[in-house]
Amino acid sequence: MLNKTHLAIGVFFMLFFLPRVVHVWTYVIVFIVAALLPNIDRFVSFRGIKITGTTRVRKRGLFHSFTFCFIITFLLAWFFPITAFPFFLAYGTHLIVDSWTVEGIKPFWPLRYVSKGSVRSGGAFENILFYCFVVADVVMLWFVF
């Protein structure tokens, strides 16, 4: 899925829990970063190819797995507890949404099982999903504030 769709869906869930959050700015910043963080493998992969002509980072590998999500969430809960929930919620939402795409994800990397759906990234259904969640975000903003 495209970053805009990840943000639209993520913002919906972020707003859902926002009234119950004490450290609002920390929650929002961590959430937005974590919602886009799994796509860092695209950037790292692109940079590796551009600089060396090859890369060892696979798209939709470690960063697109609940294995990585659980490890980072555990570390955050141990060292920075107020950041663990927004990180897990945003990162997990990103992974679930990416599991709907034809590319899918390896949810429990390094296991080879791939969870995938039928949604094409940038396709018509994703655009419909994006606009539906933008409307839902506006409605949610109305109720939160």
| The pLDDT of residue 54 | 47
Asked if the bond preceding 38 is cis, omega within 30° of 0, the reply is no
Please, are residues 21 and 82 in contact by the beta-carbon 8 Å criterion? no
Q: Is 50 left (phi over 0), alpha (psi -120 to 50) or beta?
A: alpha
Tens of pLDDT, residue by residue over 77-119, are 999 999 999 999 999 999 999 999 999 999 999 888 999 999 9
Residues 6+ apart with CB under 8 A from 20: none
Residue stretches of the chain with pLDDT short of 70: 42-59
Per domain, the residue ranges of the chain are 3-144
Q: Provide the 8-state DSSP code for 53.
A: S
Please, are residues 107 and 65 in contact by the beta-carbon 8 Å criterion? yes
| The pLDDT of residue 45 | 53
What's the token pair of residue 61? 């590998």
